[in-house]
Amino acid sequence: MQRDGESQADGSSGAGRPDVEFHPAGSIPKPPRPSQGYFPGEEKKHPALITEAQTSLEQQHRARVRRYIIIMSFRIPCLIGAAAAYGIWHSWWLSLLIIGVSVPLPWIAVLIANDRPPRTHDEPSRWDGRRDQTALESRPHKSIDG
C-alpha cells in the first residue's frame, strides 16, 4: 500500500519495506550484467552515433596533428635518400630531384593539417544567392567646388 508521496519506483515494496536482496553468509553477490542492447557484443567495437553533431574540436585537432606528422615524416627519408643517391651513384641531378620533392612538403603538410573537415550536405550555406544586388545605390551627389 502506498502512502502519500511514495511510489512503487522508489524501491519500496507494497508492504512499506524496502526491497533487500538476501545473501547467505560468506557468499559474494554477482555484479549486475551489462545491458546487451540491440547488438550484443558490438557496443565496444562501434558505438552508435545518435546525433548529427560534428566531431569534437579535440578529435579534429588530433586528426590534423596526425596528418601533419605523417606528411612530415616523408621529408627526412627524402633527405637521407638524396644523400644516399649522391653517395652511391654520384648523381647530383637525382639528389637535387629528391630534395626538390622534399622542399614543398612542409608547406603541403601545413595546408592539409589546417584544413577543416568537409562540409556535409545538411550544413547550411552562408551564401544567400543575392548576386544581382549592388552594395550601395549609385545616384548623383552634390559636391562643393572650392
Condensed to tens digits (0 to 9), the pLDDT of residues 81-122 reads 999 999 999 999 999 999 999 999 999 999 999 988 777 777
* pLDDT for res 138: 72
Residue 60 has pLDDT above 80, yes or no: yes
CA nearest to 96, candidates 112, 81, 74, 113 = 81
Extract long-range pairs of 35-42: CB within 8 Å, 24+ residues apart.
Answer: none
* pLDDT for res 17: 57
Domain boundaries, the chain: 56-116
What value does the mean pLDDT take over residues 15-44?
60
Supply the pTM of this predicted model: 0.49
From residue 30, alpha-carbon distances to 23, 59, 67, 146 in Å are 10, 37, 46, 98
SS3 111: helix
